[in-house]
């Protein structure tokens, strides 16, 4: 019998680990277990956190003889939408994962990437479990919790689900990630690349000033924004308060020379994909040609400490050149 890696626990006990056995033996899953694809999967989680969703709902079934509704099965799919100009990025995702289907949405000038239930259960879900990869945004964590519940409980029909009970269980068991927890995740850098592809912006304002900005809504996601802010600004901004805009939208923007240097070096070492990379390259060229930036900026990594000891343990500065792809 397959045994979950040390420290990896089923949500409802280790006796449920046998449910993962057929997935671990999947030949398709083995194609993902290498360093390059691991880095990509971490970026992919960031993209989904920012601009995708896990869709779970009823799949109507009918009895052909009696024409009477039967119990609904459960529809599960991952959906990711991008502008038509970013089709190459979606094609790249499909080619790397060797799963998924692309739909053209002419009415909104987009392409939609759909990963279906079988591939989610046999490939995506076990890969995340084995490698301890988590979604960070609140809604994606809630969606993944429902997926995990369905798989581990081996639930086949929609009518069996008590969504209120499941969401109450989610609220009780969901980890409240502090910004220090987020920034110390081993896959944070790759996640941030993916999240930037989905939610980040490299732009030049009318006054000619270059900015990198990123936005996220909801108080539950404020620690994500704080983690990114701290990662770029450094330990002197430990107690900086990021105030929400209307409707609890959290936005951070960086334009100082020091910050721009750090951001350029970070995304040079941790490559973006698709149109976002093109946007970054043009943005970087503008900055270098107009501001003659040629010095280096430090990278700040927060030590793994409790909140109570945070103020006394925030001096672990690592040069950005140590970043790995």
| Distance from C-alpha of 131 to C-alpha of 110, rounded to nearest angstrom | 32
| Cβ count within 10 A of residue 23 | 20
As its CATH architecture, domain 179-322 has Roll (3.10)
Q: Could you give phi then psi for residue 80, rounded to 5 degrees?
A: -140, 125
pLDDT tens for the 325 residues of the chain, in order: 233 332 333 343 333 443 444 444 344 454 554 555 778 999 999 999 999 999 999 988 766 665 566 789 999 999 999 999 999 999 999 999 899 999 999 999 999 999 999 999 999 999 999 899 999 999 999 999 999 999 999 999 999 999 999 999 999 999 889 999 999 999 999 999 999 999 999 999 888 899 999 999 999 999 999 999 999 999 888 888 898 887 789 999 999 999 999 999 999 999 999 999 999 999 999 998 876 454 444 444 444 433 333 333 333 333 333 333 3
Domain ranges of the chain: 14-173, 179-322
Nearest to 30 by CA among 123, 131, 125, 119: 123
pLDDT at 66: 57
Confirm whether 14-173 and 179-322 share one CATH topology.
yes
Q: What letter would DSSP give residue 154?
A: T
| Cβ count within 10 A of residue 255 | 12
Q: How far is CA 196 from CA 22, 142, 268, 270, in A?
A: 34, 21, 14, 11
Question: 14-173 falls under which CATH superfamily?
Answer: Homing endonucleases (3.10.28.10)
CB 61 within 8 A of CB 69: yes
């Amino acid at each position: 019998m397959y045994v979950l890696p040390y420290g990896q626990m089923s949500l409802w006990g280790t006796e449920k680990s046998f449910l993962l056995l057929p997935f671990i033996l999947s030949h398709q899953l083995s194609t993902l277990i290498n360093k390059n694809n691991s880095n990509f999967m971490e970026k992919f989680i960031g993209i989904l956190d920012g601009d995708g969703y896990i869709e779970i709902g009823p799949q109507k079934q009918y009895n052909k003889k009696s024409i009477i509704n039967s119990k609904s099965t459960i529809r599960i799919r991952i959906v990711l939408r991008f502008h038509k100009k970013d089709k190459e990025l979606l094609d790249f995702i499909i080619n790397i994962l060797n799963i998924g289907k692309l739909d053209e949405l002419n009415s909104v000038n987009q392409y939609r990437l759909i990963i279906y239930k079988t591939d989610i259960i046999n490939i995506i879900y076990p890969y995340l479990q084995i490698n301890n990869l988590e979604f960070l945004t609140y809604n994606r964590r809630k969606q993944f919790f429902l997926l995990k519940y369905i798989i581990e409980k081996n639930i086949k029909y929609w009518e069996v689900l008590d969504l209120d009970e499941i969401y109450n269980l989610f609220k009780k068991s969901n980890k409240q990630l502090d910004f220090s927890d987020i920034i110390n995740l081993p896959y944070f850098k790759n996640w941030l690349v993916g999240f930037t592809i989905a939610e980040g912006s490299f732009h030049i304002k009318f006054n000619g000033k270059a900015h990198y900005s990123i936005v996220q809504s909801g108080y539950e996601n404020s620690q994500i924004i704080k983690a990114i802010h701290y990662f770029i600004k450094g330990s002197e901004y430990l107690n900086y308060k990021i105030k929400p805009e209307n409707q609890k939208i959290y936005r951070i923007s960086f334009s100082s020379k020091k910050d721009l240097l750090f951001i350029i070096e970070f995304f040079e070492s941790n490559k973006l994909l698709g149109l976002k990379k093109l946007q970054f390259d043009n943005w970087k060229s503008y900055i270098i040609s107009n501001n003659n930036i040629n010095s280096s900026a430090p990278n700040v990594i927060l030590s793994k400490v409790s909140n109570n000891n945070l103020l006394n343990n925030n001096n672990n500065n690592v040069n950005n050149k140590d970043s790995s792809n």
